Every structure is written in C-alpha cells, then in structure tokens.
Amino acid sequence: MTLTAVDAGFRPTTPRRDGLGVASAQTYRELLRTVREAGLMDRTRGYYIGILIVLGFATVGAATGFVLLGHSWYQLLVAGFLGVVLTQFAFVAHEASHGQVFASPTANTRVGRLLANGVVGISYTWWMNKHSRHHANPNMVAKDPDISPGVLRFTEDDAATTKSRAKALFTRNQGWLFFPLITLEGLNLHVTSLRSLLGGGLTWPRVREALVIFTRLAIYVGVVFWLLSPGLAFAFLGVQLAVFGFYMGASFAPNHKGMKILPADSRVDFFTKQVVTSRNIRGGAVMNHAMGGLNYQIEHHLFPTMARPHLARARVIVKDYCEKLEVPYTETGLFESYGIVVRYLNEVGLAARDPFDCPARFSMR
C-alpha cells in the first residue's frame, strides 16, 4: 500500500480500551490538565451569542437588500454575501455539534440542529455521524470518511483504481481542478444530506429533520422565484451555492489534505495521531474569525469542546508539548497551504495512469 509514511512522532503502541497508547495517555492527561488549569476549557457563551447577533443582523440586511433591489443583476452581490453569512452560521453549527458553545449538551444539540437544519439546510444527523468518524481517525485509510475515494482520490492506491480513460485524465489533474470543484460543494452538501435522510429507515427524528430542511428549502427557493425572474433566480441560487461551497471547501481543505496518511491497521497514540495529521493556518484573530476556528486545527482535534476564543492560547501550550516530545507541529500560511493541497492531489493523481499512455511520460513529470 502506497502511503505517506509517518516518521517522527509515530509510536506503535498496544491500544488500550480508551484508544490511547499507554505512554501517550499520561502525556495527554497532563496536557489536558494544563489547559484546564489555564481556564481554556471554559465556555464563552457571550462570544457565540455576539456572533449570532451579528449574523442575524447580516441576514436581515441581506433580506432587506434583496427586497429593495428587486429585479436587478446586483442581486448576485446579495447572493454572494448570503453565501458568506450561511458559511459563518455553518461554522457555529459545527462548534455547537462539538459542545464548544454551551456547557449544556442539550443546548448545544438544539442550537446545532436549528442552525444546521433550519438555517444552513444541512442534515445535522448526517454531519455528526460523518464528522465524528473523521475526528476519531483523521487521515486514516478506510476509517476517515473525508479521505474516502469519490470525485477526488487521496491515496495513490485509490487513484490507481480508476478504470475509465476520462476518469484517469481527471484524477491526474485533480489538484488543478480542486478549486473549481469546491464551488459545487454547497450543492453536494445539500444533496448528500437529503439522500442520507431519505435513504434510511422512517424514524421520527429523521422525518422531523427532513421536514425542517424541506420547509427551509421551500420557503427560500419559493421567495427567490417569487421576486425574481426565472433566469435571475437560478443565477442567484447558483452564486449563493457556489460562494457557500467555495468558502466551506477552502476553510476545511487546508486542515488535513497533504498531511500524513495513516494505514488502516495503524496503532498510533491519540496525541500523535491528532497532531501529525493536522495543519494549523497562521493569521491570528482575523483568520480565526474568517475560518471559524478551523485555523487552529491541531488544538481543535486535541480539545474538540474548546471554545474558539481559547484556541490561540492553547496553541502556545500544545506547540511547547510537541517540541518536548519531538512530535511534528505543522503551521503554514493560508495560500501556502492551498499550494500544498494542489501539489499533493496532483502527486496522488499520477497513480491514475491511462494504459495507453507511455510510462516514460509520467517519469518526466
């Protein structure tokens, strides 16, 4: 199996019942105690309420502009702005799903469901299932759904399984196609959410969630087509979905793409597993707001319930621990990370060779 090898920091261990290596369990407990004593596991409810108030005003502003502009191509600016606002709502829904917003699990779940299902239009249940599996085994083959083969291939073994000539050509150039593709991620999230709800058994929680999402969809699309001509309405929805998808994809992709890939049978301790597969993005407070805290991905994976405002201070503590333990701590600029992602996807894509191509051609690339 062709994978990116884990070097420094990779410690094969005998797994314990809690999933941590014996040596790492003590290390992680010490680290957790340190951040708790620093008050970094305390919730910052006021911070999130403030964000939701700002986003609420932004939504009202977008709705007001939408009504006042009427049939005008300037509506596409409103659509783009709405795509940004919905992404910010999605960030808070993501944080609520982790328990970062409130001390009460019930409050977090209710807010997460409301924002995901009713505001953003994405299935909270589907997201929780997928994202929880990712957090448990980031970048681990056959266990992390975020690197499962689909439109893109994230390991050379998966790239080599492409069968058609067209797919092989696509995969060999997937890095260059990545950013155009993520403009479709918004549509993909909506469609996948609905398929997950309609494809399972008819339980009341599923039906209730589907009803909320369909109601939101009907009201939103209905208002757009009621006030705008069909052509402009389609353009409005297209721009909003493209901006939403691009913003989401551009925020989540730098976190793990191009980092260590772990074999399915890896035995690696919790601390190391979370650190070596994650990448932080520099940029301070501005980046923290723009990326919804995803820029501190290492700290987010080590302490999933830590509120966004505390992640920067936790970074200092975690980085110090990593230096002492000689565990690689990766941190780059945003655009540098995009370059890494594109190169990585292209390198993986080279494994998708057309049987009619000359092998020497690939050795020259």
**pLDDT tens string 125-182:** 999 999 999 999 999 999 999 999 999 999 999 999 988 999 999 999 999 999 999 9
Rounded Cα–Cα distance for residues 339 and 328 (Å): 20
Residue 169: inside a domain: yes
Instruction: Please give the mean pLDDT across all residues of the chain.
Output: 91
Scan for tokens 């009460």, then name that residue: 104
- % of the chain exceeding 70 in pLDDT: 90
Residue 23 pLDDT more than 90? no
Which pLDDT does position 6 carry in this prediction? Answer: 34
Which pLDDT does position 140 carry in this prediction? Answer: 98
Residues 6+ apart with CB under 8 A from 6: 260, 262, 266, 268, 276
Instruction: Give the CA count within 13 Å in the CB-facing half-sphere of 351.
Output: 18
- Domain span at residue 119? 22-354
Which pLDDT does position 26 carry in this prediction? Answer: 83
Instruction: Name the region of 255 (left: φ>0; alpha: ψ -120 to 50; beta: rest).
Output: alpha
Helices (H) and strands (E) in the chain — how many of each? Answer: 17, 2
Residue 338: inside a domain: yes
Total domain count, the chain: 1
Q: Residue 192: phi, psi to the nearest 5?
A: -65, -40
Residue 7: inside a domain: no
284: its two tokens: 């301070």
Q: From residue 157, give the alpha-carbon distance in Å to each of 165, 256, 278.
A: 17, 18, 22
Which pLDDT does position 354 carry in this prediction? Answer: 60
Rounded Cα–Cα distance for residues 315 and 181 (Å): 32
Residue 171 near residue 153 (C-beta atoms within 8 A): yes
Scan for tokens 């620093």, then name that residue: 38
CA 300 remoteness from chain centre: 12
Note the pLDDT tens digit of each residue in 258-317: 999 999 999 899 999 999 999 999 999 999 999 999 999 999 999 999 999 999 999 999
> Average pLDDT of 199-216?
91
Which pLDDT does position 4 carry in this prediction? Answer: 39
Residue 217: inside a domain: yes
Residue 69 near residue 78 (C-beta atoms within 8 A): yes
Residue 1: inside a domain: no
